[in-house]
Amino acid sequence: MSDHSLPVYKALSSPARLKIIRLLATKPYSIKELSKKLGISQTITLRHVNQLRAAGLLKFTKEGKSKISHLSVDDIKIQFPSQIQSSSLSSHQVDIPVGLYTDFKVEPTCGLADLNGFIGKVDEPKYFMAPERRNARIIWFAKGYVEYEVGNFLEPGEQVQMLTLSAEMGSEIPMSNEDWPSDITFTLDGKKLGTWTSPGDFADTRGKFTPLWTPAKFNQYGTQVTLIVSHDGTWIAGQKISSTTIDNLTPLPSRMKLRIGIARDAQNQGGCTIFGKGFGNYDQEMRLTLYCS
CATH assignment at residue 203:
2.60.120.260
- Measured in whole angstroms, the distance separating CA 143 from the mean position of its chain's CA atoms is 17
Determine the average pLDDT of the residues in 227-250. 93
How many domains is the chain partitioned into structurally? 2
Using the 8-state DSSP alphabet, how is residue 25 labeled?
A: T
Give the predicted TM-score (pTM) of the model: 0.73
Domain finish residue from 39, 71, 103: 71
Neighbour count for residue 86 (Cβ, 10 Å): 10
pLDDT tens-place string over residues 157-194: 889 999 999 999 999 999 888 889 999 999 999 999 99
In a domain, 193, yes or no: yes
Instruction: Give me the pLDDT at residue 87, please.
Output: 52
Q: How confident is the model at residue 1 (pLDDT cuts 50, 70, 90)?
A: low
What is the domain extent for residue 42? 3-71
Handedness of CA 95, 101, 106, 112 (dihedral sign): positive
In a domain, 160, yes or no: yes
In a domain, 79, yes or no: no
Query: Tell me, what CATH number does 64's domain have?
Result: 1.10.10.10
pLDDT tens-place string over residues 87-130: 567 899 999 999 999 999 999 999 999 999 999 999 999 999 99
Spatial CA neighbour of 170 closest among 8, 263, 280, 62: 280
What percentage of the chain exceeds 90 in pLDDT? Answer: 71
Q: Please state, in angstroms and rounded to a whole number, the distance separating the CA atoms of residues 54 and 220.
A: 11
Instruction: Give me the pLDDT at residue 208, please.
Output: 93
Q: Are residues 254 and 187 in the same domain?
A: yes
